[in-house]
């Protein structure tokens, strides 16, 4: 397993084109942009809100659990041409099969939405993390302008 940096969603801020997601490790933060609906889904999960009916990420998690699988972790593994790539790691075991680790290609936004609901940790590959600029000052500027939608 590559060297990983554990991160948490620290802010979700609305933008004209969607939502800015800030992830941080306590010393540095990075940002990427996602669809506003997924940002709202992440924010509601972080706030501990339970929708009256399962949303898509809730349904996915319920399906995993029904088959004896749980979310082990989510890892942001790469960035190419300003697009981030992530992997969702599942640990599955039920009465029919032996323990199996499954690694799925997924959008970082979906990984965050599912991991937050499952209480699973979120990581960034250290080499990628170290190559990215610290966006903490940008986050603070946005917060100073009252743009905060939510915090992790």
Domains of the chain, each with CATH number or no CATH: 4-144 (3.10.690.10)
pLDDT class for 152, splitting at 50, 70, 90? Answer: very low
Question: By the 8 A CB rule, do 21 and 9 touch?
Answer: yes
Of the candidates 152, 150, 145, 129, which has an alpha carbon nearest to the alpha carbon of residue 27?
Answer: 129
pLDDT class for 35, splitting at 50, 70, 90? Answer: very high
Q: Please give the pLDDT value at position 96.
A: 74
> Mean pLDDT of all residues in the chain?
90
Q: Please give the pLDDT value at position 88.
A: 97
For 2, the 3-state DSSP assignment is coil
Question: By the 8 A CB rule, do 46 and 149 touch?
Answer: no
Instruction: Report the C-alpha dihedral over residues 35, 11, 73, 58, rounded to 10 degrees.
Output: -50
Q: Cα(28)–Cα(139) distance, rounded to whole angstroms? A: 11
pLDDT class for 16, splitting at 50, 70, 90? Answer: confident
Lowest mean pLDDT among 19-28, 68-77, 109-118, 137-146: 137-146
Q: Please give the pLDDT value at position 34.
A: 94
Instruction: Determine the average pLDDT of the residues in 108-135.
Output: 96
Instruction: Determine the average pLDDT of the residues in 93-116.
Output: 89
CA 43 distance to own-chain centroid: 11
Instruction: Determine the average pLDDT of the residues in 30-52.
Output: 91
Q: Which H/E stretch holds residue 70?
A: strand 69-80
pLDDT class for 23, splitting at 50, 70, 90? Answer: very high
The 8-class DSSP code of residue 133 comes to P
In this prediction the pTM is 0.88
């Amino acid at each position: 397993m590559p060297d990983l940096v554990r991160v948490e969603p620290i802010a979700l801020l609305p933008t004209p084109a969607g939502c800015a997601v800030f992830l941080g490790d306590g010393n540095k933060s990075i940002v990427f942009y996602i669809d506003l609906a997924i940002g709202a889904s992440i924010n509601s999960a972080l706030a501990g809100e339970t929708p009256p009916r399962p949303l898509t990420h809730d349904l996915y998690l319920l399906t995993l659990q029904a088959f004896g699988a749980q979310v082990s972790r989510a890892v942001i593994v790469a960035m190419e041409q300003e697009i981030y790539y992530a992997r969702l790691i599942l640990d599955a075991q039920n009465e029919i099969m032996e323990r199996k680790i499954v690694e799925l290609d997924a959008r970082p936004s979906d990984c965050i939405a599912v991991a937050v609901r499952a209480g699973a940790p979120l990581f960034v590959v250290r080499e990628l993390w170290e190559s990215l600029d610290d966006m903490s000052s940008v986050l603070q500027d946005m917060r100073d302008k009252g743009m905060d939608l939510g915090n992790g």
